[in-house]
Amino acid sequence: MTRGVTIFAFNNEQIDYLAMAAWSAQNIRRHLELPVCVITDVDDPERTKAFDQVVVTESPVTKQHRYFYDFKQAAAWHNMNRSSVHDLSPWDHTLVLDADYVVASDQLNVLFDTNQDFLAHDRAIDASGYPPFNDNNRFGSYKIPMAWATVMCFRKGKTAQLIFDTMQMIRDHWEHYKQIYFIPEQTFRNDYALSIAMNIVDGHTLSMPAIPWPLMSLTSHAQITQLESDTYRIDYENTNTNGKVKWILLQNQDFHAMGKRSLGAIVANNS
Amino acid sequence: MPITAERGYLIPAINSGSIDYEACAEQLATSIRTWHPEANITILTREMLPYGDLGGFANDWQCFAASPYRQTIKLEADMIATGPVDHWWTLFEHRDVVISQGCRDFYGQVSDCRSYRQLFDQNQLPDVYNAITYWRFSREAKEFFDLVRNIFENWAEFRTLLKFPDESATTDVVYAMAAVILGPELVTLPKGLGPQIVHMKRNIIPTLTDNWTNELIWENANPGLRIQTVAQSGFVHYHNKDWRMS
């Protein structure tokens, strides 16, 4: 059974996701010792040489735009084809990572040793303790528990196929599912689709197994600086700090960098 | 009341004002029988109270004397069984009294909403819900219900022990005080171990209005109940006393 990591990378006018994915591939090889596949619309061997496998596919058609707090403007959000990973990923046992997920340890390797066909995070926390973050673990007017599509580990087979097919169904009928689940936001999010899909596939019991640790996250309010290869300084300001900027160090700790500007600068420095 | 069976569910249903608790209790009994056709169920009506109707919550302590079972699970009438619950007997049978602790939202997640529980938090009372209470016919259970009676009957004195007490005694607060006096470890299970009701109160769910049935999609799964597509388990405390599943 082949194992590997798959990253989606569709650039927009603001963010070079492919460069992020290429930098992430180096971290993945160093810590997880796994091959990395990129799914992208960039058909340029020079720009994709960092990857073991490249799946070139058309950029998902989208009218979606998302406001990026750190860029202070909206940009196109090409997130509509995540659910095709079951068909596109070349590995039998795949770890799907967001391009902005920073691998700084070998912790994710544990997921390959679990006896589960599909795993995702059901809880995220903010490394800086950003207070409103708990709200991100639920969505919709009636606070549905969130499953995060940032890190997904799946074995190809019936369960994963069902989950991804259901995500596609939800994506294709988003207006309908938005109404059923009372989701006021207009934008489609893979996290929402995954949450609803897991609920449906699991017989509406919300009891699917989850990754047994929380998704460490940093919002775009945090400034991330790389000090050493796996050591990051996080400068942050939140409602608890009364306007003062505080900082913490993250060392050998994986995290989801929601602030693309900080991460983009780190990637640029390393390339 | 003489003991007639080893195990059974007791549902107090004393109609008050416009609330038809007997109809609620009938619905609850029907839902339990859906999952457990052989279950012993007693609906405790006003005329069955051994010491007469003392009014509202103050009747609660009479349940001990009124139960015809050696082991009793007392259930609040405005609930519905949405799945099998007989495994609880195995969990409870080693104890003399078990009061449920905490509650869940309809996603099955333990609620962290404290807006209805400020009195408990301010007085560091255990977060008990009398909606599901088990007891074994025993000296210890009698002691518990004697204490509950004592607190109800002497509420004017007992309330002075609390910060920001209610004018009238409510069953959950009285049970919590009794638990503190006897020792919470003797009348509750460790948090997260025992059953918890699904509480459909506005701030817990959270809905915009008190009547969740006007906002949320619910389905009679026959048997069972789904709310917002999510299959419910255990007892759902529907709160809106007029709600009927069929």
Residue A255 lies in a domain: no
Q: For residue A187, name the pLDDT band (cuts at 50, 70, 90).
A: confident
List pLDDT tens digits, range A213-239: 999 999 888 899 999 999 999 998 776
Cβ–Cβ gap B228/A145 under 8 Å: no
- Is B219 a residue whose pLDDT tops 70? yes
What pLDDT is recorded for position B60? Answer: 95
On the question of pLDDT at A68 being above 80, the answer is: no
Residue A11, domain CATH: 3.90.550
Query: Tell me, what DSSP letter sits at residue A25?
Result: H
B209 touches A: beta carbon within 8 Å = no
* Percent of residues, chain A, with pLDDT higher than 90: 73
pLDDT given at position B228: 93
Residues A110-152: tens digit of each pLDDT: 999 999 999 999 999 998 877 667 788 999 999 999 999 999 9
The CA distance from A217 to A1, in Å, is 31
Q: Does B104 touch chain A (CB under 8 A)?
A: no
The reported pLDDT for the residue numbered A193 is: 96
- Exposure on the CB side of residue B169, measured as CA atoms within 13 A: 28
What domains, with CATH codes, occur in chain B?
5-237 (3.90.550)
Nearest CA in chain B to A134: B112
pLDDT tens for A26-37 read 999 999 999 999
Residue A67 has a pLDDT of 62
Q: What is the distance between the terminal CA atoms of chain B, rounded to a whole angstrom? A: 33
pLDDT greater at residue A268 or residue A13: A268
Helix (H) or strand (E) holding A162: helix A158-172
Does residue A24 surpass a pLDDT of 80?
yes
Residue A226 included in any domain:
no
| CB contact residues (below 8 A), chain B span 28-67, against chain A | none
Residue A260 lies in a domain: no
Q: Chain A within 8 Å of B108 (Cβ-Cβ)?
A: yes
User: Measured between CB atoms, which of B205, B226, B233 is closest to A142?
Assistant: B205
Average pLDDT over residues A85-95: 97
At residue A62, the pLDDT reads 64
- Check whether A75 has a pLDDT greater than 70: no
pLDDT above 70 coverage of chain B, percent: 100
- Residue A14 pLDDT > 70: yes
Average pLDDT value for chain A: 90
Domain count along chain A: 1
**Which among B109, B228, B233 is the nearest to A142, CB-wise?**
B228
Distance CA A125, CA A217 (A): 6
ipTM of the complex: 0.79
- The residues, any chain, with a CB within 8 Å of residue A112's CB and separated by 6 or more, are A3, A93, A95, A153
Dist CA B130 CA B32 (whole Å): 18
Beta carbons of B229 and A203 less than 8 Å apart: no
- Mean per-residue pLDDT of chain B: 95
Q: Does B203 touch chain A (CB under 8 A)?
A: no
Q: What mean pLDDT comes out for the span B199-220? A: 94
Which residue is it, tokens 């420095």? Answer: A269
pTM for the model stands at 0.86
Q: Which residues, including other chains, have CB under 8 Å from residue B188's CB and lie 6 or more apart?
A: B98, B99, B101, B126, B128, B179, B194
How many angstroms separate the CA of residue A143 from the nearest CA in chain B? Answer: 7
- Tell me if chain A has a CB within 8 Å of the CB of B231: yes
Q: Do A204 and B230 touch (CB under 8 A)?
A: yes
pLDDT confidence of residue B188: 97
| Domain range enclosing A112 | 3-219
DSSP letter (8 states) at residue A24: H
Cβ burial of B20 (10 Å; 0-12, 13-18, 19+) is middle
